[in-house]
Amino acid sequence: MTDPRALAVIHAEAFDAPWDAASLAALLASPGVFAIKDGDGFILIRVVADEAEILTLAVRAAARRSGLGGRLVQAAVVRAAALGAERLFLEVAEDNVAARALYARTGFVEAGRRRGYYARADGSREDALVLSLNFTR
C-alpha cells in the first residue's frame, strides 16, 4: 500500500492548497481508488463502473519536465482500463498551461467547464476545464 504521508509531502510541493495525509488516506480507503507512485510523483485515480477520474496528479518541482507526469498518466490509463473503465475524466485549472499541454499530448479533449471552480490564495477564482479521454474509439 502507498504511504499517504509520502504522498502528502509530494502534494504539498505541487499545490498551493495541498491535501494532507489524513485526506489522502481516506481517499485511498474508498472503493475503486488507487494511487500509482513513481519516485517524485504520483497519480490518484477512482474507477467506478466504466468511468475513471484522475483525482490528482502531483510531481515535485525538481522532477517536472522529465516525462514523469506523462508516464503516470499512461500507467493510470492502463490500470483503469484493466479495471473496466472505458473513459477517463479530470478537471484542470484553465490557467495551468503545463498540465493542459500534458493532457493534450495524452489525447484528452475538453468536455466541459466548471466556472470559478478553483479558489486562489488571493481570493480570485479560476475555471476548471473538464477533460476526457476515451479508451475505445
Which are the catalytic amino acids?
Answer: 91, 103
Find all residues with CB under 8 Å of 131, minimum gap 6, and list them: 89, 90, 91, 92, 103, 108, 109, 110, 111
Count of beta carbons in the 10 Å neighbourhood of residue 131 = 22
Torsion angle (degrees, nearest 10) of CA 20, 26, 28, 30: -150
Count of beta carbons in the 10 Å neighbourhood of residue 100 = 17
